């Protein structure tokens, strides 16, 4: 009676377990098939009990699973020890029914031997524990970890870009301040230069009139031969004033002063054209004129280092922000001068076709090493000694050219020199781009 109760209780438990339990004999016939297995395989016990496992389920990995089961059947002539009860744990995918279909099911399989009194394994009990949800959680956790790592890397990249952008903004702000200062200085200088130029022009005319009067007096001097005292006094005055030298030198002095004032006016105009704080919008401009203005501004950096050759093609005007393009020219010109150690040549070359205009700045300097050539436009990268460069000039120039929908290319040979080419479209896209600061 007790055995019947125990058997009934055992059957009840096996049927109610939320785990798959089935038993097979040595011929792989199914002798027990619980409710969980029936539900998840969609095969009731009546359809499978007494039949070969692999005939009922040909989709199972037969060779692999048979080897696992056979490894349990060969456990014989051993006492029923804890070692023998150690589960053979492995996994395989199966299916489980869900609303509207079936779902992939991952299972942990445990194979336990059932021995007779002689130690022979008569049956193998297979227990299937569904770990699909756990596996899914683990997979999702791994995915989240991967996403977090990617997000962290993206944040680090963003931080670096923000630092680079901050540096470029600082440089842009600095250039804008310099431009405003230059425009203010140019305005203040224009006034005194204007009246100095006007006064010198008037003075030149007046001196010329005075020299004409002196020439007339010299004609009268010939009539004073009968008045030796007056003639002697006049001749002594001419000698004391060195009139002959004064006549030649005074006009030269005035002409040189006028030429100097004109040069100052040109520099001021170039400074104003370079800064162009009054023209921060897109407008049509001639790049050659901008290049000339910038060249005059940085001439002090160049004149002791290089001879400048110009090969201009007569560029058509294009739509651009001239002040920003002049910043690019300034950077290229100064870099070219710095690349020349003693004395060399800087060649300014322009050209155009139906699509674009271009400007080249070529120097005969030391050149750029190949490993550095691909990094010249990186923010903060510089080959100059500490304190000699910020590493932002070319990066800022590259950003300006990109916003103008153009290209900034570089070609260099160590020991021979470097050529930068700025190419801009003759007609920019209709959609306006955001302006640089």
pLDDT of residue 211: 73
Per the structure, the count of domains in the chain is 2
Buried b (16+ CB within 10 A) or exposed e, 60-99: eeeeebeebbeebbeeeeeeeeeeeeeeeeeeeebebeee
- Asked if 411 contacts 366 with a C-beta cutoff of 8 angstroms, the reply is no
Instruction: Name the band, by pLDDT with cuts 50, 70 and 90, for residue 387.
Output: very low
Residue 49 belongs to some domain of the structure? yes
Residue 317 belongs to some domain of the structure? yes
Q: What is the DSSP string of 124-177?
A: EEEEEEE-HHHHHHHHHHHHHHHHHHHHHHHHHHHHHHHHHHHHHHHHHHHHHH
Residue 170 belongs to some domain of the structure? no
Least confident window among 12-16, 58-62, 391-395:
391-395
- CATH number, position 321: 3.30.565.10
Mean pLDDT of 405-417: 90
Residue 196 belongs to some domain of the structure? no
Instruction: Name the band, by pLDDT with cuts 50, 70 and 90, for residue 342.
Output: confident
pLDDT of residue 423: 95
Q: Which residue, 363, 354, 304, 357, is CA-closest to 331?
A: 363
Residue 103 belongs to some domain of the structure? yes
Expressed as residue numbers, the domain containing 400 is: 279-437
pLDDT digits (tens, 9 = 90+) for 252-281: 777 888 777 777 777 777 666 665 544 557
Which domain-ending residue is among 130, 152, 168?
Answer: 130
Which domain-ending residue is among 74, 97, 130?
Answer: 130
Mean pLDDT of 103-107: 54
Instruction: Name the band, by pLDDT with cuts 50, 70 and 90, for residue 137.
Output: low
- CATH number, position 83: 3.30.450.20
Residue 217 belongs to some domain of the structure? no
Residue 386 has pLDDT above 80, yes or no: no
Tokens, residue 350? 């322009």
Residue 310 has pLDDT above 90, yes or no: yes
pLDDT of residue 436: 42
Pick the more confident residue, 359 or 141. 359
Least confident window among 104-108, 140-144, 242-246:
104-108
DSSP lists the bridge partners of residue 436 as none
Residue 415 has pLDDT above 70, yes or no: yes
Which domain-ending residue is among 81, 101, 130?
Answer: 130
Residue 242 has pLDDT above 60, yes or no: yes
- What percentage of the chain has pLDDT greater than the value 90? 16
Residue 57 belongs to some domain of the structure? yes
Q: Which residue, 320, 300, 307, 393, is CA-closest to 348?
A: 307
Residue 296 has pLDDT above 60, yes or no: yes
DSSP lists the bridge partners of residue 320 as 283
Residue 23 belongs to some domain of the structure? yes
Which among 168-177, 233-242, 399-408 has the top mean pLDDT? 399-408
> What is the dihedral angle through the alpha carbons of 401, 402, 403, 404, rounded to the nearest 10 degrees?
50
pLDDT digits (tens, 9 = 90+) for 76-94: 544 444 444 444 444 444 5
pLDDT of residue 77: 46
Q: Which residue, 199, 26, 32, 39, is CA-closest to 122?
A: 26
Q: Which residue, 6, 55, 48, is CA-closest to 31?
A: 48
Least confident window among 165-169, 170-174, 315-319, 325-329:
170-174
Residue 139 has pLDDT above 90, yes or no: no
Q: Are strands 407-413 and 283-285 parallel, antiparallel or unpaired?
A: unpaired
The per-residue pLDDT of the chain, averaged, comes to 76
């Amino acid at each position: 009676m007790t055995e019947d109760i125990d058997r009934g209780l055992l059957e009840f438990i096996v049927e109610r377990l939320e785990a798959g339990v089935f038993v097979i004999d040595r011929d792989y016939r199914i002798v027990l098939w619980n409710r969980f297995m029936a539900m998840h395989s969609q095969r009731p016990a009546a359809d499978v009990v007494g039949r070969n496992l692999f005939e009922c389920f040909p989709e199972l990995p037969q060779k692999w699973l048979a080897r696992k089961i056979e490894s349990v059947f060969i456990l014989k002539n051993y006492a029923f020890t804890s070692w023998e009860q150690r589960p053979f744990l492995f996994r395989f995918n199966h299916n489980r029914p869900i609303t509207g279909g079936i779902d992939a099911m991952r299972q942990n399989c445990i194979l336990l031997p059932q021995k007779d009194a002689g130690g022979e394994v008569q049956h193998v009990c297979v227990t299937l524990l569904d770990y699909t949800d756990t596996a899914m959680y683990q997979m999702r956790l791994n995915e989240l970890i991967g996403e977090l790592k990617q997000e962290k890397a993206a944040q680090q990249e963003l931080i670096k870009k923000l630092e680079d952008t901050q540096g470029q903004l600082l440089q842009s702000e600095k250039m804008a301040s310099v431009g405003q200062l230059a425009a203010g200085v140019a305005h203040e200088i224009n006034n005194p230069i204007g009246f100095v130029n006007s006064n010198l022009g008037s003075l030149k005319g007046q001196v010329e009139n005075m020299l004409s009067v002196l020439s007339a007096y010299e004609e009268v001097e010939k009539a004073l031969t009968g008045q030796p005292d007056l003639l002697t006094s006049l001749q002594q005055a001419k000698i004391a004033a060195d009139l002959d030298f004064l006549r030649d030198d005074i006009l030269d002095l005035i002409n040189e002063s006028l030429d100097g004032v004109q040069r100052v006016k040109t520099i001021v105009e170039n400074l104003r054209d370079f800064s162009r704080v009054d023209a921060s919008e897109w407008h049509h401009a001639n790049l050659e004129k901008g290049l000339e203005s910038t060249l005059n501004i940085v001439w002090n950096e160049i004149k002791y280092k290089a001879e400048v050759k110009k090969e201009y093609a007569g560029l058509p005007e294009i739509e651009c922000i001239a002040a920003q393009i002049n910043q690019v020219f300034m950077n290229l010109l100064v870099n070219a001068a710095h690349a020349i150690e003693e004395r060399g040549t800087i060649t300014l070359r322009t050209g155009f076709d139906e699509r674009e205009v271009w400007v080249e700045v070529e120097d005969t300097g030391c050149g750029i090493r190949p490993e550095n050539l691909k990094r010249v436009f990186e923010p903060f990268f510089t080959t100059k000694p500490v304190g000699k460069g910020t590493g932002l000039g070319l990066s800022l120039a590259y950003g300006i050219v990109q916003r103008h929908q153009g290209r900034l290319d570089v070609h260099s040979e160590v020991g021979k020199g470097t050529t930068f080419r700025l190419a801009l479209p003759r007609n920019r896209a209709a959609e306006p781009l955001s302006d640089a600061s």
